[in-house]
């Protein structure tokens, strides 16, 4: 059970209890991290190759700017990536999707209204827990609500969990 203090951005109804919270899988974030590290390594190498063109102070300023840009980008992407959550409560499923630090989209589906749950994973590689992530899609009959949680850890496990807690 998750305390209400952790959910300051989401309203919990009376009698509603959060049963489980799902975050994005860490592997896609690590792949993204390596891409950014590669780009910044290339930029630092490029700066090093042309160090004779700049005086020492300008060379240090460019280094500081690159390190600051790397830090800001990493912090921003990390916060947005880890704030996205899929909540499973005893009454509904809520997906909080942060598109930026200042903007979020919230989608919800009542457990009774769930019509179909689809999962999509990466083939035989998904049997390795490090690569067991994919797309989790939930559809309801009420007002055609569709929740799509990408980079979901063990989408098939999430589907089974929701079918387990859903009232029959």
Domain 19-168 fold is PH-domain like (2.30.29)
Q: Where are the alpha helices (DSSP H) in the chain?
A: 26-49, 56-83, 155-165
The pLDDT score that the predictor gives to residue 4 is: 46
What percentage of the chain's residues is helix, strand, coil (to nearest 5)? 50, 30, 20
The pLDDT score that the predictor gives to residue 136 is: 92
- Who's near 14: CB < 8 A, 6+ residues apart? none
Nearest to 93 by CA among 164, 27, 3: 164
Interhelix angle 26-49/56-83, rounded to 10 degrees, is: 170
The pLDDT score that the predictor gives to residue 142 is: 67
Segments in the chain below pLDDT 70 = 1-10, 123-124, 126, 142-143, 168
Its pTM stands at: 0.79
The pLDDT score that the predictor gives to residue 36 is: 93
The pLDDT score that the predictor gives to residue 146 is: 82
- Who's near 101: CB < 8 A, 6+ residues apart? 76, 79, 80
Output the six-digit token pair for 42: 């290339």
Largest CA-CA distance found in the chain, in angstroms, rounded: 73
The pLDDT score that the predictor gives to residue 8 is: 52
Q: Domain ranges in the chain?
A: 19-168
The pLDDT score that the predictor gives to residue 6 is: 44
């Amino acid at each position: 059970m998750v305390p209400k203090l952790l959910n300051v951005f989401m309203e919990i109804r009376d009698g509603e209890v959060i049963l489980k919270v799902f975050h994005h899988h860490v592997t896609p974030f690590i792949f993204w991290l390596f891409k950014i590290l590669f780009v910044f390594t290339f930029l630092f190498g490029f700066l090093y190759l042309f160090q004779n063109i700049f005086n020492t102070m300008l060379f240090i300023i460019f280094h500081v700017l690159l390190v600051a840009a790397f830090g800001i980008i990493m912090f921003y992407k990390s916060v947005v990536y880890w704030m996205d959550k899929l909540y499973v409560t005893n009454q509904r499923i809520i997906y909080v999707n942060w598109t930026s630090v200042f903007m979020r989209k919230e989608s919800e589906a009542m457990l009774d209204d769930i019509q179909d749950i689809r999962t999509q994973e990466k083939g035989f590689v998904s049997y390795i827990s490090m690569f067991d992530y994919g797309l989790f899609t939930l559809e309801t009959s009420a007002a055609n609500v569709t929740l799509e949680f990408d980079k979901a850890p063990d989408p098939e496990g999430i589907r089974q969990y929701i079918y387990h807690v859903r009232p029959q």
